[in-house]
Amino acid sequence: MSDQLKLLPAFIMLLAGAVTSIITFGIGYSMKSALIILLIVLILFYIMGVVLQKLIFKFEEANKPKPQTEEGTEETTEEGKVVEKDESEINKNAEGSNSEAGNRPELDRA
């Protein structure tokens, strides 16, 4: 999408220049007046195109999906695969931490 955004200011400027040229020719301005008006229009619309390009780029950055992390019993291995622990591993880890944390009573899981 950024390749298309690079051309946006130039496209807006050239479109405004073409419309301005047609209007000034149709009304009958002198060549000097028409060129001065055309130069001002080209500069103004180029600046407007750059501002529009920056706004669109900001909106695209804000709308990109952010990676979500889940908290729970899932762990990631070295290869990046998600491994879910079963209940026996969770209980085994809890028993090992009970001895370190003090004498907590074990919960009965039926």
- pLDDT 10s digits, 42-97: 999 999 999 999 999 998 888 888 777 655 555 555 666 666 667 776 666 666 65
**Cα–Cα distances in angstroms (integers) from residue 29 to residues 19, 26, 36, 41, 84, in the given order:** 14, 8, 11, 15, 77
- Asked whether residue 101 carries a pLDDT value surpassing 60, the answer given is no
**CB-CB neighbours of 99 under 10 Å:** 9
Residue 3 pLDDT grade (very low, low, confident, very high; cuts 50, 70, 90): confident
Q: Is 74 helix (H, G, I), strand (E, B) or coil?
A: strand
Q: At what angle do helices 31-62 and 8-27 cross, to 10 degrees?
A: 150
Q: Say what the pLDDT of residue 53 is.
A: 93
Element housing 83 (H / E): strand 82-84
User: Quick one: which of 76, 70, 75 has its CA closest to 93?
Assistant: 75
**Cα–Cα distances in angstroms (integers) from residue 107 to residues 58, 92, 95, in the given order:** 52, 13, 10
- pLDDT 10s digits, 71-84: 555 555 566 666 66
Q: Say what the pLDDT of residue 78 is.
A: 64
